[in-house]
Amino acid sequence: MEKQGSTAIVTGASRGIGRAVAERLARAGWRVCVNYRVRRDCAEELCARLTGEGLEAMAFQADVSDRRAVESMVRAARERFGPVGLLVSNAGIAGQMQIQDVTDGDWERYFAVNVKGAFHTIQAVLPDMLHAHRGSIVTVSSMWGLRGASCEAVYSATKAALIGLTRSLALELAPSGIRVNCVAPGVVDTDMVRVLGQETLDALAEQTPLGRLGTPEDIAAAVAFLVGEEAGFVTGQVLTADGGFVV
């Protein structure tokens, strides 16, 4: 995997997809900043395990919807590991609700974390990438951002916004040697989706052409491809990793 810079930041990396991504990047030689909001125990356990294996990782608490917290995180990662060459914007929240039950607070919180969080982290890491005239940014959307989902209008809207942000930034930043791509996972077996219940998860697995749910490692592999040298001519793309759910 090409290391376009020594330092990688993965948001929402204490559990699930972000954790698998952080671990894969660390094993590929990146110095990884593991961002978390609440689960300090999970983030520090991951970093302790990685550093125990001779890899480089640090945990940092920051709510990505808070610009100052994000700027502090990027500054700390830079001071410890050096300029940031890779950002995986993964932090997000999800939930099901009928549109008539969505409050202004619900709407604003979803967009603050899922969209503004990506905006904050991208702006914070760009100076390093622009100075180096290289870098890679991967946003994590969802297949629901491509096709929509009943009772997930707010979540789907935020994930669709990330796709538009990705494509636009790819065009804007390409002259500076910075690639911007997106992964759109399907139903992945994480804590976030287990709240749906086993019956629903079984039904979703049955609806998936490959006949199973995705794993965090499946999505980490997709991210690894997009940041690798094999994808050096790939930018502005949405890689859907959903077992064939959306074709």
Predicted local distance difference test score (pLDDT) of residue 86: 98
Tokens of 70: 């994000």
| Class level of CATH domain 7-241 | alpha beta
Residue 154 has pLDDT above 80, yes or no: yes
In the predicted model, what is the mean pLDDT of the chain?
94
Domain boundaries defined on the chain: 7-241
Query: Cβ-count burial of 17 within 10 angstroms (0-12 exposed, 13-18 middle, 19+ buried)?
Result: buried
Predicted local distance difference test score (pLDDT) of residue 3: 54
Residues classed as catalytic:
155
Q: What's the order of all strands across the beta sheet hosting 178-185?
A: 57-61, 31-36, 7-10, 84-89, 135-140, 178-185, 238-241
Predicted local distance difference test score (pLDDT) of residue 213: 92
Tokens of 49: 């395990």
DSSP reduced 3-state for 107: helix
Over the stretch 78-100, which tens digit does the pLDDT of each residue have? Answer: 999 999 999 999 999 999 999 99
Short-list 119, 126, 123, 124, CA closest to 162: 119
Residue 1 has pLDDT above 50, yes or no: no
Query: Cβ-count burial of 29 within 10 angstroms (0-12 exposed, 13-18 middle, 19+ buried)?
Result: middle
Report the distance separating Cα 179 and Cα 115, nearest Å: 19
Report the distance separating Cα 189 and Cα 175, nearest Å: 38
**What backbone torsions phi and psi does residue 121 show, to the nearest 5 degrees?**
-70, -40
Q: What is the pTM of this model?
A: 0.94
Phi-psi region of 45 (alpha: psi -120 to 50; beta: other; left: phi over 0): alpha
Give percent of the chain with pLDDT exceeding 70: 98
Over the stretch 184-212, which tens digit does the pLDDT of each residue have? Answer: 999 998 877 777 778 888 888 888 999 99
Residue 239 has pLDDT above 60, yes or no: yes
